[in-house]
Amino acid sequence: MAGYPALAGSFWLAAPGVLACVLLSVGLLLRWHDAVTAALVLAGGAYAAFLLLAERDAIDTAAPLVAAALVGVAELSHWSLERGPAREPAPLVVRRALRLVFVGLGAVLFSTLVLLASYAEVGKGLAVEAAGLAAALGVLTLLAFVAWWRGRV
Protein backbone atom coordinates (compact mmCIF):
# COMPACT_ATOMS: atom_id res chain seq x y z
CA MET A 1 0.00 0.00 0.00
CA ALA A 2 2.86 2.38 0.87
CA GLY A 3 4.53 1.57 -2.42
CA TYR A 4 1.39 1.98 -4.54
CA PRO A 5 2.04 5.63 -5.62
CA ALA A 6 5.57 4.73 -6.66
CA LEU A 7 4.35 1.66 -8.53
CA ALA A 8 1.71 3.79 -10.24
CA GLY A 9 4.48 5.96 -11.70
CA SER A 10 5.15 8.64 -9.08
CA PHE A 11 8.57 7.42 -8.03
CA TRP A 12 9.26 10.51 -5.95
CA LEU A 13 6.45 9.36 -3.60
CA ALA A 14 8.40 6.22 -2.69
CA ALA A 15 10.20 8.09 0.11
CA PRO A 16 7.11 8.77 2.27
CA GLY A 17 6.01 5.19 1.66
CA VAL A 18 9.33 3.82 2.88
CA LEU A 19 9.26 6.21 5.84
CA ALA A 20 5.74 5.01 6.69
CA CYS A 21 6.93 1.39 6.63
CA VAL A 22 9.90 2.24 8.90
CA LEU A 23 7.67 4.15 11.31
CA LEU A 24 5.21 1.29 11.43
CA SER A 25 7.97 -1.24 12.11
CA VAL A 26 9.48 0.94 14.83
CA GLY A 27 6.05 1.53 16.36
CA LEU A 28 5.27 -2.19 16.43
CA LEU A 29 8.67 -3.14 17.78
CA LEU A 30 8.73 -0.50 20.50
CA ARG A 31 4.98 -0.70 21.17
CA TRP A 32 4.75 2.99 20.34
CA HIS A 33 1.20 3.87 19.39
CA ASP A 34 2.00 7.36 18.11
CA ALA A 35 4.52 6.01 15.60
CA VAL A 36 1.92 3.60 14.22
CA THR A 37 -0.64 6.40 13.89
CA ALA A 38 1.96 8.62 12.19
CA ALA A 39 2.83 5.77 9.79
CA LEU A 40 -0.83 5.36 8.81
CA VAL A 41 -1.27 9.12 8.34
CA LEU A 42 1.91 9.24 6.27
CA ALA A 43 0.82 6.36 4.07
CA GLY A 44 -2.61 7.95 3.57
CA GLY A 45 -0.96 11.32 2.95
CA ALA A 46 1.35 9.83 0.33
CA TYR A 47 -1.64 8.42 -1.50
CA ALA A 48 -3.46 11.77 -1.24
CA ALA A 49 -0.36 13.52 -2.63
CA PHE A 50 -0.29 11.03 -5.47
CA LEU A 51 -3.94 11.78 -6.25
CA LEU A 52 -3.31 15.50 -6.12
CA LEU A 53 -0.05 15.80 -7.98
CA ALA A 54 0.14 12.86 -10.39
CA GLU A 55 -1.01 13.41 -13.94
CA ARG A 56 -4.00 11.15 -14.41
CA ASP A 57 -6.73 10.88 -17.03
CA ALA A 58 -9.36 9.07 -14.98
CA ILE A 59 -10.45 8.32 -11.44
CA ASP A 60 -8.13 5.93 -9.62
CA THR A 61 -10.25 2.77 -9.34
CA ALA A 62 -7.80 1.25 -6.85
CA ALA A 63 -8.89 3.78 -4.17
CA PRO A 64 -11.29 1.29 -2.44
CA LEU A 65 -8.49 -1.25 -2.19
CA VAL A 66 -6.13 1.37 -0.74
CA ALA A 67 -8.82 2.36 1.78
CA ALA A 68 -9.41 -1.28 2.75
CA ALA A 69 -5.67 -1.82 3.07
CA LEU A 70 -5.36 1.21 5.35
CA VAL A 71 -8.23 -0.07 7.48
CA GLY A 72 -6.66 -3.53 7.60
CA VAL A 73 -3.23 -2.21 8.58
CA ALA A 74 -4.77 0.01 11.26
CA GLU A 75 -6.75 -2.91 12.72
CA LEU A 76 -3.87 -5.37 12.62
CA SER A 77 -1.36 -2.96 14.14
CA HIS A 78 -3.85 -2.09 16.87
CA TRP A 79 -4.30 -5.81 17.54
CA SER A 80 -0.52 -6.23 17.77
CA LEU A 81 -0.14 -3.38 20.21
CA GLU A 82 -2.97 -4.48 22.47
CA ARG A 83 -1.90 -5.48 25.94
CA GLY A 84 -3.79 -8.54 27.02
CA PRO A 85 -3.38 -12.13 28.06
CA ALA A 86 -0.36 -13.91 26.67
CA ARG A 87 -2.54 -16.67 25.27
CA GLU A 88 -5.97 -15.97 23.87
CA PRO A 89 -8.59 -18.67 23.36
CA ALA A 90 -8.57 -19.92 19.78
CA PRO A 91 -12.31 -19.21 19.13
CA LEU A 92 -11.78 -15.56 20.07
CA VAL A 93 -8.82 -15.25 17.73
CA VAL A 94 -10.77 -16.85 14.89
CA ARG A 95 -13.76 -14.58 15.50
CA ARG A 96 -11.57 -11.53 15.51
CA ALA A 97 -9.75 -12.57 12.35
CA LEU A 98 -13.07 -13.21 10.60
CA ARG A 99 -14.35 -9.85 11.76
CA LEU A 100 -11.24 -8.24 10.35
CA VAL A 101 -11.87 -9.89 6.99
CA PHE A 102 -15.48 -8.68 7.02
CA VAL A 103 -14.40 -5.17 7.96
CA GLY A 104 -11.92 -5.17 5.08
CA LEU A 105 -14.54 -6.44 2.61
CA GLY A 106 -17.06 -3.92 3.95
CA ALA A 107 -14.51 -1.14 3.51
CA VAL A 108 -13.94 -2.14 -0.12
CA LEU A 109 -17.69 -2.30 -0.72
CA PHE A 110 -18.53 0.99 0.96
CA SER A 111 -15.59 2.78 -0.61
CA THR A 112 -16.62 1.48 -4.03
CA LEU A 113 -20.19 2.72 -3.45
CA VAL A 114 -18.84 6.16 -2.56
CA LEU A 115 -16.66 6.13 -5.65
CA LEU A 116 -19.60 5.01 -7.84
CA ALA A 117 -21.73 7.77 -6.36
CA SER A 118 -19.21 10.30 -7.66
CA TYR A 119 -20.07 9.16 -11.23
CA ALA A 120 -23.73 10.07 -10.73
CA GLU A 121 -24.91 12.95 -12.91
CA VAL A 122 -26.40 15.35 -10.39
CA GLY A 123 -25.43 18.47 -12.25
CA LYS A 124 -23.03 21.15 -11.22
CA GLY A 125 -23.33 24.43 -9.50
CA LEU A 126 -23.10 26.18 -6.19
CA ALA A 127 -26.09 24.34 -4.73
CA VAL A 128 -24.59 20.94 -5.41
CA GLU A 129 -21.23 22.05 -4.00
CA ALA A 130 -22.98 23.44 -0.92
CA ALA A 131 -24.91 20.20 -0.47
CA GLY A 132 -21.68 18.20 -0.71
CA LEU A 133 -19.99 20.47 1.79
CA ALA A 134 -22.99 20.25 4.13
CA ALA A 135 -22.93 16.44 3.87
CA ALA A 136 -19.22 16.31 4.70
CA LEU A 137 -19.66 18.71 7.61
CA GLY A 138 -22.69 16.76 8.76
CA VAL A 139 -20.72 13.51 8.86
CA LEU A 140 -17.92 15.16 10.84
CA THR A 141 -20.40 16.80 13.24
CA LEU A 142 -22.26 13.52 13.69
CA LEU A 143 -19.02 11.71 14.47
CA ALA A 144 -17.95 14.38 16.91
CA PHE A 145 -21.36 14.34 18.62
CA VAL A 146 -21.47 10.55 18.92
CA ALA A 147 -17.91 10.48 20.30
CA TRP A 148 -18.81 13.20 22.84
CA TRP A 149 -22.03 11.41 23.81
CA ARG A 150 -20.23 8.07 24.22
CA GLY A 151 -17.63 9.76 26.37
CA ARG A 152 -20.34 11.04 28.68
CA VAL A 153 -22.13 7.71 28.87
Closer Cβ to other proteins, 27 or 47, answer by number: 47
The count of C-alpha atoms lying within 13 angstroms of the C-alpha of 37, restricted to the half-sphere facing its C-beta, is 3
Nearest 10 degrees: Cα torsion 62, 95, 84, 108: 10
Q: Is 77 in the site for other proteins (CB under 8 A)?
A: no
Q: Distance between CA 52 and CA 38 in Å, rounded?
A: 20
Under 8 Å between Cβ of 47 and 5: yes
Within residues 97-116, the interface with other proteins by CB under 8 A covers: 99, 103, 106-107, 110-112, 114-115
Q: Is 92 in the site for other proteins (CB under 8 A)?
A: yes
**What are the residues binding other proteins (CB under 8 A)?**
44, 47-48, 51-52, 59-60, 63-64, 66-68, 70-71, 78, 84-85, 87-89, 91-92, 95-96, 99, 103, 106-107, 110-112, 114-115, 117-118, 129, 132-133, 136-137, 139-140, 142-143, 146-147, 150, 153
